[in-house]
Chain A
Amino acid sequence: MEFKEVVGRRRSIRFFDPDRPVEREKIQKMLEAARLASCAVNAHWARAIVAFRKDLTDDQFNRLKTPVAALNVDLAPVHIHWFNDLSIVNKIKGSRLKELVDVGALAPTHGWSHKFVDEFVYPQILEPMTKNPGYPIPSTFDVGNAVAQALLTGVDEGLGVCLVTLNGEVLKEVFKVPDEWIPLSSILVGYPAESWDGGGQRPRPPFEELYYEGQFGTPFRRDPAVVEELKAAKMIQEPAKPNDPARIAEIRALAEKYGLPM
């Protein structure tokens, strides 16, 4: 699938086929994509634990279910739980930055050297940064990059994906993760039981309310020709319509199939 179409087809799928297993190799591809994501100082804070629902014990499964997320967790055959390993920077102490210097990604042309990393970047910037109460924010942003790439790769593999937030403390206990890992979001993965388009592309705020040019208050001009080009590339797709009879009928059928409340 072309990249723009992958972006356009992604939906938060909430009706998975619970009885259709997901191929292990497709999960690996999602993780491979996450590993290749852009990441500040090449630190790689993102950690994931893959849980195949069929392998969870009853106790694990029941603990993950909450009144808010019980259905999603139940329907999705695979859950990928994401964490931020805050300890990584002080473990690698700039060594991955020096790898970037060695391969020419960070070059003397831009002021980079091993000595700069050893004597300045790690001791004067990175190590103090880890003591800053705000440290989890930018590092979590980078985990988000990795997660987004995993999501899109799942879509490219024909899977349904949905990013959800479960009970972080439960996740830490159930999966026995190190204390220094911060629990973040989970990707639920499975084949959609609903139509792949889920009734259409989800409503979004107007472009001009989100993006500016030069300064706040001056919307970035949206060129209609570009919009048309993206429609042709299937990145911008037919929007979901309120009270669409076809979508309501689909949800009703799914509710009856899986015994869900209406």
Chain B
Amino acid sequence: MTRLASPRSERWPKNTGSRCSAVTQTEEEVPVELRPMLEYPSVQAWMHGLRQHWGGDPEHDDPERFVIFETFCRRVNRDPDQIVKETTMMKDGQHRIRIKGRNRYAALIQDFQDGVEGSRFAKAKWGNTVRSFLIHNGVLLQSGVQR
């Protein structure tokens, strides 16, 4: 298996001042306290989607999946359900995608991915893990080919 490079999250400044600053942890924010991932309904929805589409046992078939996703959550200082709330909304009784929220997270994910050391596929795995979480929560998100 490809050895994944460590993300630079621990070495990143709290606010890079980049395009992701809108939801990047600021000096005033209290670091998010994360419960075990499977306790979040949005993570359960993710697992259900993976199981339904690809089969297998997504809770256990990739030990890095939750590690990567939790790293992202800490990076943006949001828990999984908050991420879904910031990319979706209810309007007229219907579940809608927040376009600005999605664009913001698309940039954040790209930033997260770019910060990973390793091959393009290793980088892609980190970004795509988070994209997969959003996709299976109903947020269509395309990244393009990883070159």
Contact = CB atoms under 8 A, between A and B. Distances in A.
Identify the interface centre among A68, A248, A259, A260: most chain B CB within 10 Å of its CB. Answer: A259
Interface in A194-228: none
What bracket does the count of chain B residues touching chain A fall in? 20 to 34
A126 B3 CA distance: 67
Interface stretch (A24-32, A69-77, A113-121, A168-176): A69-77
B103 A70 contact: no
Given A248-B54, A252-B54, A262-B132, A71 B142 contact: yes
A111 interface: no
Interface of B: 50, 53-55, 102-103, 106, 120-121, 124-125, 127-129, 131-132, 135, 140-146
B108 to A, nearest CB: 12
B142 A70 contact: yes
B140 A67 contact: yes
Given A259-B124, A262-B50, A262-B54, A74 B144 contact: yes
A67 B142 CA distance: 5
Contacts of A262: 50, 53-54, 128, 132
Contacts of B145: 18, 71, 74-75, 258-260
B131 A261 contact: yes
B127 to A, nearest CB: 8
A69 B146 contact: no
A218 B99 CA distance: 43
Contact of B135 (A65, A66, A69, A261): A261
Nearest to B113: A259
A181 B125 CA distance: 41
Nearest to B133: A261
Contacts of A248: 53-55
Given A259-B120, A259-B128, A261-B132, A71 B54 contact: no
Contacts of A73: 144
